[in-house]
Chain A
């Protein structure tokens, strides 16, 4: 157990089958046209960074996962949600 404050990131992005026009535009019109053709794909999403007081990194991650589901931080019909400890 390592009680303390943890920094947790939540990344919400469209499911692979849901088109992501923002990512496509950044990819084609900025990155590829800007001289980086080796980049084959870009997906845009939303990042939330939360500071959590918890007993351990695992508890911090579990709490954030639960709140993402409870409060529908993402729409499971269209999005995938990744939760990760960053500090």
Chain B
């Protein structure tokens, strides 16, 4: 069975939700690991959870990105293991340079906590391989700094290399201005690295993985975790 680490930083607050879903819903071996205790690459996959690491001081994720744990996580990513950053975890991966671009303050200058519709833009990543391209996922967001930004040149590269994984869309499944909750460039909600084994997303799939917790009784978030683990098993990396 694949073994997953949920890495906890001072100020992480979605770590237990991710742990619960991985252990009890996805049913995989998962350990909560304090960032300073992560000294060896002993896991098949790493989840960097949401929260407010180091109080979001300097910039969301900027200080956690200098934690020694990121050396291990970078090494794991180089070894083709799965690294998933959710919300603050996404910000940390961007600040650590494991993902390109930046995540800036919401254009409306407010913390937003709402359900969003996401379109799966590619299923070539290990995090969306169990979903169909174009599938719609309803997953909530909860953040103050979620506005994805990159310069035009990098955006062209992201598009060309199929690194844009999720986009915010409206009821007609189109990435319109109205469907964009935070001013993200091109309605981007989640991206991956060039290889596809490192992904960051602002929405919280761990909050949409149990039917009771979703307004429509679905479990759309599970596909992210299920895909991540099914591809680990496929590769025989147990």
Contact = CB atoms under 8 A, between A and B. Distances in A.
Interface string B137-161: 0000000000001111010000000
A75 B59 contact: yes
B151 A77 contact: yes
B150 to A, nearest CB: 6
Contacts of B104: 14, 18, 78
B149 A72 contact: no
Interface in A1-57: 14-15, 17-19, 21-22, 25, 46
A17 B59 CA distance: 19
B101 A78 contact: yes
A73 B66 CA distance: 11
Given A71-B66, A73-B58, A77-B100, A18 B105 contact: no
A22 B102 contact: no
A83 to B, nearest CB: 16
A38 B185 CA distance: 31
B62 A72 contact: yes
A79 interface: yes
B183 A72 contact: no
A77 B58 CA distance: 16
Contacts of A19: 107, 183
B77 interface: no
Contacts of B94: 75, 77
Interface in B27-85: 58-59, 62, 65-66
Contacts of B58: 46, 73
A72 B108 CA distance: 26
B183 A75 contact: no
A18 B185 CA distance: 10
Nearest to B66: A71
Interface of B: 58-59, 62, 65-66, 94-95, 97, 100-102, 104-109, 149-152, 154, 183
